[in-house]
Amino acid sequence: MKSLGIGLIGTGFMGKCHALAYRSARAVFGDVPEARLEVLCDVPGDKASAFADQFGFARATDDWMDLVADPKVDIVCITTPNKVHKEMALAALEAGKHVHLEKPMALTMEDARILLAAADKTGARTIVGYNYLHNPAIGHARKLIEDGAIGRIVHFRGMVDEDYQADPELAWTWRATKADAGLGTLGDLGCHLISLATALVGPVESLMAETRTVHETRPMGEGSDERRPVENEDIASALLTFENGVHGVISTSRSAWGRKSYIAFEVHGTEGMITFDQERMNELRLYQNRGPVSEQGFKTLLTGPAHPPYGQFVPAAGHQLGFNDLKIIEAHTFLKAIAEGREAVPSFKEALHFEAVIHAIAEAGETGRRVTLK
């Protein structure tokens, strides 16, 4: 297998996560090309150099266009703030590179559609960083549903929360602006939940919603008297109608004290229920209306080799995968799709729907009216 060169833009939370993932993907799975860590980009340049040295990239740059143009780079990983996603992804696609883009794709649906159109024009492959989809527990939930383990789906509930904006006195940042951040909790967290809802139940058709900015202003720095408005939502909830008629209800908050990575859902079926919570990401709970009533109950399934691709990491059940392992699976998914000449999932195409839903929620929240997708 011909190895593939990686160019990574960004060295923060997701930047490091991508670097670690591409370092390990082939070692973990064995069935994909080696990922050569070619170029790392960040500003200023000495930061890029320092991280290139740490992460093991062959060279560093402070100019992302330089990275995009590098002939040794096959895959461009974009982990920069949301507002520059579009420009970078377009440039990478135009340069004929495969694009691994962090979510959300863009600040607006218009931009996201431009990205999809650009990808469709090239032969390049794309994948968007909806990493929670790659959890073996989620894969098993899908399999259970497809196998009819809980009968026909009749209801979906989901919540996704963190508390990074829970402190009322946290300083104002660009995250509070529509221009730079776009959506609030919907863009940061909500879209992850939609990716799971869609994977488990199907696409969303229409919705009603309510959105709230809990902390209406924030100080310009700790203890500052000057305060600026928070322009995007801290909390959003929506009543969903999926295309298959199933009713769902979801809620997201970035101001939920105590929630650190809470992505919880329930899938109600005519013969059982599946529940999950990302804060216990190695567990899936399954209820089935089978056998004697006295022995019916929610079963906690600890993921293991019976839930692929867990076994690629550890051959013994219950030993636990971690957050970074999900990105390794994502990187593997992308490398494999490229090697086999087919689309990865979720490509820009699937991601477009996830993001259409969060924008529809924002619109419904503002207008108070039901919004139908497409």
> Looking at beta carbons only, is 147 or 179 nearer to a second copy?
147
336 binds a second copy (CB under 8 A): no
Q: Give the pair of three-digit tokens for residue 98.
A: 């495969």
Nearest to 133 by CA among 339, 353, 362: 353
Q: Which of 68, 193, 208, 331 binds a second copy (CB under 8 A)?
A: 208
Site string for a second copy, 56-75 (x = CB under 8 A): x-------------------
Cα(240)–Cα(108) distance, integer angstroms? 21
Stretch 295-324 residues interacting with a second copy (CB under 8 A):
295-302, 304, 306-307, 313-324
Stretch 145-204 residues interacting with a second copy (CB under 8 A):
149-150, 154-155, 157, 159, 162-164, 166-168
263 binds a second copy (CB under 8 A): no
Instruction: Collapse the DSSP code of 161 into the 3-class scheme (helix H, G, I; strand E, B; otherwise coil) and give the result.
Output: strand
Nearest to 263 by CA among 356, 185, 343, 355: 185
Stretch 24-43 residues interacting with a second copy (CB under 8 A):
24, 26-28, 30, 34
DSSP at 251: E
Number of residues that bind a second copy (CB under 8 A): 99
Instruction: Collapse the DSSP code of 158 into the 3-class scheme (helix H, G, I; strand E, B; otherwise coil) and give the result.
Output: strand
216 binds a second copy (CB under 8 A): no
Q: Which of 10, 184, 272, 309 binds a second copy (CB under 8 A)?
A: 272
Minimum distance between the CB of residue 94 and a second copy, rounded to whole angstroms? 30
In degrees rounded to 5, what are phi and psi of residue 12?
Answer: -85, -150
Which single residue is written with the structure tokens 């019916």? 296
Q: Give the pair of three-digit tokens for residue 68.
A: 């995009």
Single out the segment in contact with a second copy by CB under 8 A; choices: 54-62, 66-74, 104-112, 352-360: 54-62
CA 101 to chain centre: 10
- In a 13 Å sphere around the CA of 67, the CA atoms on its Cβ side amount to 33
* Edge-first strand listing for the sheet containing 75-78: 59-61, 35-41, 4-9, 75-78, 98-101, 126-128
Q: Which of 17, 75, 107, 371 binds a second copy (CB under 8 A)?
A: 17
> Looking at beta carbons only, is 124 or 208 nearer to a second copy?
208
273 binds a second copy (CB under 8 A): yes
Q: Give the pair of three-digit tokens for residue 243.
A: 């295309």
258 binds a second copy (CB under 8 A): yes
209 binds a second copy (CB under 8 A): yes
State the Cα angle at 94 between 88 and 98, rounded to 5°: 75
> Looking at beta carbons only, is 17 or 93 nearer to a second copy?
17
Q: Determine contact, residues 131/275, Cβ cutoff 8 Å.
A: no
DSSP at 182: -
Single out the segment in contact with a second copy by CB under 8 A; choices: 113-121, 221-229, 237-245, 338-346: 237-245
> Looking at beta carbons only, is 130 or 348 nearer to a second copy?
130
Q: Which of 126, 253, 333, 347 binds a second copy (CB under 8 A)?
A: 253
> Looking at beta carbons only, is 113 or 157 nearer to a second copy?
157
Q: Give the pair of three-digit tokens for residue 306.
A: 């019976």
Cα(305)–Cα(187) distance, integer angstroms? 33
> Looking at beta carbons only, is 85 or 307 nearer to a second copy?
307
Stretch 87-106 residues interacting with a second copy (CB under 8 A):
none
Minimum distance between the CB of residue 263 and a second copy, rounded to whole angstroms? 11
